[in-house]
Chains A and B, each alone.
Chain A
Amino acid sequence: MRVAVIGAGVIGLSSALCIQEQFQGLVPELELEVHADRFTPHTTSDGAAGLWQPYLSDRGNLQETLWNKETFEYLLGHLHSPAAKEMGLFLLSGYNLFTEPVPDPSWKNIVLGFRNLTPKELELFPGYSYGWFNTALMLEGRNYLPWLTNRLTQRGVKFFHKKIESFQELFSQGVDVVINCTGMRSGELQPDPELQPGRGQIIKVLAPWVKHFIITHDVKSGIYRSPYVIPGSEFTVLGGIYQHGNWSEENSAQDHRTVWESCCRLLPALQVAKIVGEWTGLRPARPQVRLERESIRHGNLQGEVIHNYGHGGFGITIHWGCAMAAARLFGSILQEKRKVASSAQPRL
């Protein structure tokens, strides 16, 4: 049975690993493959800072909160494993800052040590009068994706560096199930007006004295439109851009200025930080994640697609919960195929 994952970002690779771990033993004839035109370090996941943190509001999607929780707990369990450093996984504490009191987020009991900021702590951040402190996790795409790739390669998963133009293209090759993890460009395989780019631009700097994430919020403007600073293992990410509907993957000088000036105002010591890079990425934004099965007609056959895309700016945060859900959907497809196969047995 051939299963093809399209997309090699965090969603594609983790879905592949999850399915491989759960089913390879049970389904010896399982042939798993990953098809993508972009691999690490050129995927959207590679550019993201890698901080586990959902949006402030779950937008009414309780299922997503559960997937976020599942991901955090899965990662926390790996923190002590020898693989943690190779995975790019480590604990990181930090601040969320607001100009007015806000309700506690859906994830307050998922992260560690969540609490409000004290008045003394707020003195660090003039202009902000309310905030949270908590310890969360970092999962750096630049390390996690190669780690996932190694695990998959070791287990015999094949990789194909090619752009897939349609689901049919894979079905006609003999693929039975497609896992659609194409993120921002899912619309090219199947139009989806709900999927829109949430363009972000970040500046990478060397600021190794910064040991906390600092995320400011302008509740009126919306998520990620206010400066943020996220220290990684090799460099620190400065950001604060979210442009809905902007497809440009080019760095903009104006956005550079916005990010640089607002972050330096937030942390004056950044003025002497050395800039080592700049990157623009398109968050695959959707009112909710699309995680569902679809049967696609292919001649007189039926092909099964499991969609797993539209994770906006919280792909890393939610990835494992979604991978498990995709694996469950795959399990039900397997179940159905087995039933069909056994009911087709001639009765003696």
Chain B
Amino acid sequence: MAAPKVAVVGAGVIGLSTALCIVETCPSSSVTVLSDQFSPNTTSDVAAGMLIPHTYPGTPIHVQKQWFKDTFTYLFAISNSAEASEAGIHLVSGWQVFKSTPKEELPFWSDVVLGFRPMSEAELQKFPQHRFGQAFTTLKCDCPPYLLWLEKRLKATGVQVYNRKVADLWELHREYDIIVNCTGIGAHQLVGDKKLFPVRGQVLQVHAPWVKNFIRDGDGLTYIYPGIDRVTLGGTREKESWSLSPDPGTTKDIFDRCCSLEASLQEAQDIKVKVGLRPSRQCVRLEREVLSQGGAKLLVVHNYGHGAGGFSVHRGTAKEAARLVGECIVALQGSSSRAKL
């Protein structure tokens, strides 16, 4: 058969990294990216891009750990290369602090990040309201740079990227053989997934270039993540809220919470407020599906629902999605050769 035509729907970190993995592992295929939103207007652009995993209740820990490890290893190599600044990948060290000692003192990812250890008494003195903490070094993917870099690499391999709103996967049936659904929160509408729900996050992006370490409260609600040009201050976790409008009361609350962790943020300048809807689910939907309509079949690979952990596992889930695309290609070739008999 002719080169299988693969359409990846979605151009956030999941869509672009999945497209790249498909190109790498299925070189015979022709890959196109379709999306109605591109950087800097994707959910990924709001995220700080810190490699600190979120735990999915519905996925075995060893699977999540492998996804994280794959992602960390991949980005570690880029951070160490001449492309690091173009790709927006950099190392950052800091502290995760807890008001009360957590049940799990050693998270599953503690041996993947660098130099993980409990904080010393002297370090904890900087956080008088917190009694326990962990120090480590991890990676950060800054957006837009990372998404732009992924897009550049895709285009260099011949992948076409189109601005196109896909309202129904069946629209793509005649033009493409396999659809890869990386639509994030858009999947709620696009494929009617009721298990997918938004968790609204508001963040402030500020100019505070003297802040070089990250600080995160273990409750996940308050964090300070220094990026290349801006520091991301967060945040909120509002389940089932679909509002993309910044809330001024929330802005003040986030700013105050972050200043109580890092007093010098009072001097932060040029505060920009952003909102993103984390595409949340009990587990990432990472599976093949064969849709039927009339006599027609549509091969779909889903890769969405990464919630708060998209950046942390993106490469790992992209690889798995590419593997599933490979299975689809084999299935197509099987059925096309049967058709020839």
Q: Which residues of A contact B (CB under 8 A)?
A: 79-82, 84-86, 88, 90-93, 112-113, 115, 117-118, 120-121, 123-124, 133, 135, 138, 207-212, 231, 233-234, 268-269, 271-273
Q: Are B123's CB and A211's CB within 8 A?
A: no
Q: Are A211's CB and B93's CB within 8 A?
A: yes
Q: Are A113's CB and B135's CB within 8 A?
A: yes
Cβ distance B93 to chain A, nearest Cβ, rounded Å: 4
Q: What is the bound-complex CA distance between A81 and B115, given in angstroms? A: 30
Q: Are A269's CB and B123's CB within 8 A?
A: no
Chain A residues with CB below 8 A from B82, complex form:
268-269, 271-272
Which one of A133, A233, A269 lies within 8 Å of B85 (CB-CB)? A269
Q: Are A233's CB and B137's CB within 8 A?
A: no
Task: Determine if B120 is an interface residue (Cβ-Cβ < 8 Å).
Answer: yes
Chain B residues with CB below 8 A from A82, complex form:
263, 266
Cβ distance A192 to chain B, nearest Cβ, rounded Å: 37
Chain A residues with CB below 8 A from B117, complex form:
113, 115
Q: What is the bound-complex CA distance between A123 and B91, given in angstroms? A: 13
Q: What is the bound-complex CA distance between A234 and B81, given in angstroms? A: 23
Task: Determine if B114 is an interface residue (Cβ-Cβ < 8 Å).
Answer: yes
| Mask of B129-149 contacts with A, CB within 8 angstroms, 1/0 | 000000101000010000000
Cβ distance B78 to chain A, nearest Cβ, rounded Å: 10
Q: Which residues of B contact A (CB under 8 A)?
A: 79-86, 88, 90-94, 114-115, 117, 119-120, 122-123, 126, 135, 137, 142, 209-213, 226, 228-229, 263-264, 266-267
Q: Are A209's CB and B211's CB within 8 A?
A: no
Write 28 A-B pairs (CB below 8 A) sorted by A numbering: A79-B126, A80-B126, A82-B263, A82-B266, A84-B263, A85-B210, A85-B264, A93-B137, A112-B120, A115-B115, A118-B114, A118-B115, A120-B114, A121-B115, A121-B137, A124-B80, A135-B93, A135-B123, A209-B84, A211-B93, A212-B93, A212-B212, A231-B212, A233-B209, A268-B82, A269-B81, A269-B85, A273-B85
In the complex, which residue of chain A has the Cβ closest to the Cβ of B265?
Answer: A85
Contacts A112-B123, A135-B123 hold; do A90 and B212 have CB atoms under 8 A apart? Answer: yes
Q: Are B122's CB and A112's CB within 8 A?
A: yes
In the complex, which residue of chain A has the Cβ closest to the Cβ of B83?
Answer: A269
Which one of B85, B93, B115, B120 lies within 8 Å of A207 (CB-CB)? B85
Q: What is the bound-complex CA distance between A64 and B103, given in angstroms? A: 44
